Structure 1
């Protein structure tokens, strides 16, 4: 990590956000025009600090500026919560999305993603999670009779045990079906995609197979199946059956042959997996599907440790902005871990940062890396 003497821990954590990229976005979207006080750089730092500390309302964000250190970092002595709210609603979500993607590119570089993919097939996991909203405040996101909600569709890169990070996301109203986002999240033929049965779509499975994309997913119990061939399993295999199948009814049938693998979960329940890969063992396919748990852990982490339970804004744009800010915070934790070769978890990195955000950065780095920093 870069050597320095004057940065605070918070400023060092924030430093991967490219000022050049931010200035370009500010200019493109004219974000600082007619803005005397709340410049975008200051606003972004304030939002990230609030998200890091799970601040629940704009009024609470406004009160955070009683801190002399936060005033110094943001260049703001005070700002009303109404101004903060208006700003959040006005900034285009594309701004936060581009900053998120820029951090993902840095994670790719630091984790040597391109070098890794030459050795092994990258695993990308796709899933979604519904974020509930207050129906009275967010009528545009009507979901059920008594509540509103948005859905975060996410693609997660699973690098190794204990390390994964998001690299693509889409936000929709919660009523929209998952499989409608699959085409957007599948764009790399040199990867293996893993997703759950919410994305089942026989036509898309055919299209992915014809286009050269590999996947493993889960079938519903009542799926119409015609077994064409059963493969012999090795004696030590934990898989129940391995078959080549045709899937669907006469009216709605996939054109390609697929592979069905039956496995038992930890509770003894039978799961039916479907894949278009025939060149790896059934046990390897079963292990690939187990990796899907990484995205469940990611969503759990976000909901427990970032502020996406209570939303500052009532507008669609403001809500989407807050979700992207949360993912930016997560990516900054990933980069802090990579840049320091830290053995600490993202949660530990976050806790140590929150405990002493204004201490000298080298003290925070020493804490998270477990060694002295020259």
Structure 2
């Protein structure tokens, strides 16, 4: 992903975020009361960038920020250490991010109207996993790495009409890939949109879902080959710069960027 694309995509992620709403929550909690450098809004911007660039550790985030002027301009920060990032991770309550998500959903509902928004967001299932590290000598059955054991919690959460409910939880040893549990977590309902990240990346699985009408949204890997079949017209007022019918795997899709 080149710098031009990063700038464009980053701005699209940042644009819907209402800084005033987030700042009000920060002020109520007193989260940034004594903060001089890494405030919560800057933290959110930095981690959105890290997600876009697939940075895997706090050290990578810190190094990328210190080396690249483009990143510094995007997030509004010159440098930050990995220890400061770690402390900020621990300090921020999940309620702030939860309220931010709900606020974004309300904006979609306001933009689309209640009927269209309910259709678009009425049945949204979020799929992800988390690893819990454990002592290797006591939990040998949970084989993970040479120096530690671990389990992986695969989770499906339903988001409907502003309410969040747990749909399914599957514990496994940490070593197997996320994609091994996708079929179990996916909701086989044509009215449901399943959302998951690149950890579940598998073209054969995606092709099968497309053939059976299962809706899903995910992010493709940077080295994915996209075969453009037909270029389509783009409205000059649209933020989309290119619209085409393309082929990824064996299925033809509408592809916009």
> When the two structures are superposed, what TM-score results if normalisation uses the length of structure 2?
0.57
Q: Is the 8 A contact 1:135 1:147 kept in 2?
A: yes
Report the RMSD for the aligned CA atoms in angstroms.
4.3
Partner of 2:39: 39
Once the two structures are superposed, what CA deviation does each residue of 1:179-217 show, in whole Å capped at 9, x if it has no partner?
xxxxxxxxxxxxxxxxx999xxxxxxxxxxxxxxxxxx9
Answer yes or no: is 1:365 the counterpart of 2:234. Answer: no
SS of match in other structure, 1:82: helix
Partner of 1:70: 71
Asked which structure has the greater RCO (Cα within 8 Å, sep 6+), the reply is 1
Partner of 2:27: 27
Counterpart mapping for 1:167-178 below 5 A: 168-169=163-164
Partner of 1:102: 103
SS of match in other structure, 1:367: coil
Aligned residues: 186
Partner of 1:282: none
Counterpart mapping for 1:186-335 below 5 A: 290-291=189-190, 294-295=193-194, 298-299=195-196, 301=197, 303-304=199-200
- What is the rounded CA distance, in whole Å, between the counterparts of 2:88 and 2:48 in structure 1? 14
The offset of 1:154, in angstroms, is: 1.8
Larger Rg: 1
Q: Is the 8 A contact 2:127 2:156 kept in 1?
A: yes
Unaligned runs of 5+ in 1: 1-7, 158-165, 177-195, 199-216, 218-288, 306-344, 352-361
Q: Is the 8 A contact 1:131 1:151 kept in 2?
A: yes
The offset of 1:104, in angstroms, is: 1.3
Q: Is the 8 A contact 2:58 2:85 kept in 1?
A: yes
The offset of 1:18, in angstroms, is: 0.3
The offset of 1:149, in angstroms, is: 3.3
The offset of 1:55, in angstroms, is: 1.1
The offset of 1:29, in angstroms, is: 1.6
Answer yes or no: is 1:154 the counterpart of 2:176. Answer: no
The offset of 1:147, in angstroms, is: 2.6
Q: Is the 8 A contact 1:133 1:148 kept in 2?
A: yes
Partner of 2:145: none
The offset of 1:175, in angstroms, is: 7.0
